[in-house]
């Protein structure tokens, strides 16, 4: 299959949908004097948590910050490995390096530029065979195209169990941290 760049030039992967309602919200936020963690952020966190049917949600300033929190929450340790796609922003792999961990690059599918699950499996098997600990997979949904995350279900059971356990631990750690941070100062 030949790559045809004209498809992407004529049909960019994003087209912002910004109307009067969004502009009014931005102006109201600017006029409020709160640019970061003000009442609108707290409202967003509550509404987003409700939408996801979770008790808590945390708004951050960037995907890099969100990835950092996620890896912190699972307890990523120096020397462990994390699978990241090749078609992503540099921060996806760089945040893994913050922990002294090792990003393992997995190829992406030419059809949608998302993680190639078969290549991810090969990289995981190779890492495990070399005695490395693979702690997580960080899928990236590229250009509005949803990745094939559900296809990861067939990956080694030990890895899937580890990922499920770390997700529960992450949720518990975030909840505990929020309780501490929201406690009144004495």
- Domains defined along the chain, listed by start: 76-172 (3.40.640.10)
Task: State the pTM of this model.
Answer: 0.68
Does residue 176 or residue 127 have the better pLDDT? 127
pLDDT at 110: 86
Lowest mean pLDDT among 90-94, 126-130, 138-142, 182-186: 182-186
In the predicted structure, residue 80 carries a pLDDT above the cut 80: yes
What is residue 117's predicted lDDT score, i.e. its pLDDT? 87
Q: Mean of the per-residue pLDDT values for the chain?
A: 78
Task: For residue 9, give the DSSP letter.
Answer: H
Q: Where are the beta strands (DSSP E) in 41-166?
A: 81-85, 102-106, 134-137
With a CB cutoff of 8 Å and minimum separation 6, the contacts of 36 are: 61
Q: What is the tens place of the pLDDT at every residue in 107-157?
A: 998 888 888 888 998 998 899 889 998 988 888 877 777 777 666 666 654
pLDDT at 34: 85
Cα distances from 41 to residues 2, 60, 96, in angstroms, run 45, 9, 27
On the question of pLDDT at 167 being above 50, the answer is: no
Q: What pLDDT is stored for residue 166 in this prediction?
A: 43
Kindly provide the residue ranges of all beta strands, DSSP E only, lying in 75-158, ordered along the sequence.
Answer: 81-85, 102-106, 134-137
Pairing of strands 102-106, 134-137: unpaired
Each residue's pLDDT tens digit, 7-33: 455 555 566 778 899 999 889 988 988
CA of residue 120 relative to chain centroid, distance: 17
């Amino acid at each position: 299959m030949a790559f045809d760049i004209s498809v992407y030039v004529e049909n960019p992967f994003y087209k912002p949908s910004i109307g009067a309602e969004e502009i009014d919200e931005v102006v109201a936020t600017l006029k409020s004097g709160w640019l970061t963690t003000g009442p609108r952020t707290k409202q967003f966190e509550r509404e987003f948590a409700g939408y996801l049917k979770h008790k808590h949600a945390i708004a951050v300033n960037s995907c890099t910050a969100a990835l950092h929190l996620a890896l912190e929450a699972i307890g990523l340790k120096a020397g462990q490995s994390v699978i990241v796609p090749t078609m992503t922003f540099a921060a996806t792999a760089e945040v893994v390096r913050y922990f002294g961990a090792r990003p393992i690059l997995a190829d992406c599918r030419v059809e949608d530029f998302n993680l190639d699950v078969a290549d991810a499996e090969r990289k995981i098997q190779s890492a495990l065979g070399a005695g490395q600990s693979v702690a997580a997979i960080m899928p990236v949904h590229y250009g509005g195209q949803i990745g094939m995350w559900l296809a990861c279900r067939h990956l080694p059971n030990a890895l899937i169990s580890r990922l499920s356990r770390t997700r529960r631990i992450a949720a518990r750690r975030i909840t505990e941290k929020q309780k501490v941070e929201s406690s009144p100062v004495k």
